[in-house]
Chains A and B, each alone.
Chain A
Amino acid sequence: MDHQQEKVQLFGMWASPYVYKVKWALSIKGVEYEYVEEDLWNKSRQLLKHNPVHKKVPVLVYNGKPVAESDVIVQFIDDVWKGHGGRILPEEPHERAMARFWARFVPDKLSPPIWKWFTTAGGEEQDAAHDAAMEQLRVLEEELAHGGNEFFAGDSVGLVDLSLGALAYVIPMYEEIIGERLVIEERFPSLYAWMGRFLAAPPVKDHLPPMEELKLRFRAIREYFVKNA
């Protein structure tokens, strides 16, 4: 495929983990693109034109054609730039199915209890969310340990790592803000090690959000939920 004449734009927002997932995918493939920061309280006409259905970021625009939904975008990137940079999905069909399955595990099963834990003021309800999150983390820990690789599918960042990725910096922030640990090294040795490895990985390390600003944002979010409990 001729990549000489192509134009790639990414519409995003500095705090969105889904936008970073796409940035990391583009980085794995070594794709050059124009980044457009959106003000989600005042969405641009371009964004609304490119994503009329959901009106959200991220949106990747490839030669004028928009793709929305981060999971869809990441697989699109893997397809378009096949043979360039690293592999996002494995080659073998069964491994691909497994990668897609575990990539979905994160938003379907893991993120909801973590978000619940973070946005619940305290007491039994918060404890229950914490326990639920731990249970799902245990499942993921087993999967990662069982694979015995540096990352979920091998030696480099792939689909599952991208899906889990933002939690590598979000969980420690939540832990600090709430004052309670979730990913304790002794309990989740593989995940704990993976988190550090992920943040230091070449496609990721130079494409991380401004951490102090993000932390302030999360603090404000938690305060809002605690106040309105």
Chain B
Amino acid sequence: MAEPVKLIGTFGSPFVHRAEVALRLKGVPYELILEDLTNKSELLLRHNPIHKSVPVLLHGDRPAICESLLIVEYIDEAFDGPPLLPIDPYDRAMARFWAQFIEQKCAKPFWMALWLNDGDKREVFVKEAKENMALLESRLHGKRFFAGDTVGYLDFAACGLALVLGVLAEVTGLSLVGEDEFPLLRRWADDYTSEETVKACLPPREQLVAHFSGKKDRIKLAVNAMACQM
């Protein structure tokens, strides 16, 4: 009998989403435990004492696995099913390279740009984010998804961008990306969020909009405080 799989997560998190979609693509049943990150459970703190963040994967009795992209790689290696990462070593290296790029060079500047009060500072981040988005856009030439014809590791890594381009743009009222800008990325965001397995573990758009609208002030406070220290 298969060992139970538990995923500790929180509503609306693209990081948690990465782990969920990976489990579903592999056909692995799991129990999703939703956390309120303003009131972290003993379970979460016990299993992720270093980062105290979600997602956390618990597979049977094994020590917890933390960090979303590491979790995705683990799921790929520990369970049978369609491969989530490319098979070829060079293609695999490229997937990891671009996932790292997204995490370090795209996600953060866009996040900052969405929530900063200071217009000038925001412009700096927007400029940086767009330069990097252009590089990502070029990776989609001739491809439906970053991973090819079907979704894979790099698409999961980029899922936060889909959130940024869609839901968060609506919540903040800020259209950081013009209608004519990044057509391939926009198309990718639509294709990704409507893909069958992805859709099954994505909350409906209205729920996400409501959720982030509710958190708006808290996020703004935290981001603007962080910006002062930079």
Q: Which residues of A contact B (CB under 8 A)?
A: 53, 62, 65, 67-69, 71-73, 75-76, 79-80, 93-94, 96-98, 100-101, 104-105, 109, 139
Contact = CB atoms under 8 A, between A and B. Distances in A.
B65 A101 contact: yes
Given A76-B92, A80-B89, A94 B74 contact: yes
B67 A76 contact: no
9 contacts: A53-B101, A68-B97, A75-B92, A75-B93, A79-B89, A93-B78, A94-B74, A94-B78, A96-B77
B70 A101 contact: yes
B18 to A, nearest CB: 14
A107 to B, nearest CB: 11
A219 B66 CA distance: 38
B100 A69 contact: yes
Contacts of A69: 96-97, 100
Nearest to B94: A67
Nearest to B93: A76
Contacts of B92: 75-76, 79
Contacts of B228: none
A128 to B, nearest CB: 14
B35 interface: no
Interface string B54-82: 00000100110111001101100110000
A104 B67 CA distance: 10
B180 to A, nearest CB: 24
Nearest to B95: A72
Contacts of A101: 65-67, 70
B225 interface: no
Interface of B: 50, 59, 62-63, 65-67, 70-71, 73-74, 77-78, 89-90, 92-94, 96-97, 100-101, 135
A76 B90 CA distance: 7
B89 A76 contact: yes
A101 B74 CA distance: 11
A6 to B, nearest CB: 12
| B59, B90, B97, most chain A CB atoms within 10 A | B97
B80 to A, nearest CB: 12
A77 to B, nearest CB: 9
B16 to A, nearest CB: 17
B93 A97 contact: no
Nearest to B101: A53
A93 B3 CA distance: 15
A14 B65 CA distance: 36
Contacts of B66: 101
Nearest to A63: B90
Contacts of B73: 96-97, 100
Nearest to B67: A101
B63 A109 contact: no
| A68, A72, A75, A96, most chain B CB atoms within 10 A | A72
Contact of A97 (B50, B74, B100): B74
A97 B70 contact: yes
A139 B73 CA distance: 24
Contacts of A67: 90, 93-94, 97
Given A94-B59, A94-B78, A72 B97 contact: yes
Contacts of A104: 67, 70
Contacts of B50: 105, 109, 139
Contacts of B70: 97, 100-101, 104
A-B interface, 5 closest residue pairs, ranked by CB to CB distance from nearest: A79-B89, A93-B77, A93-B78, A97-B74, A76-B93
A113 B78 CA distance: 34
A194 B83 CA distance: 37
A75 B92 CA distance: 9
A76 B62 CA distance: 27
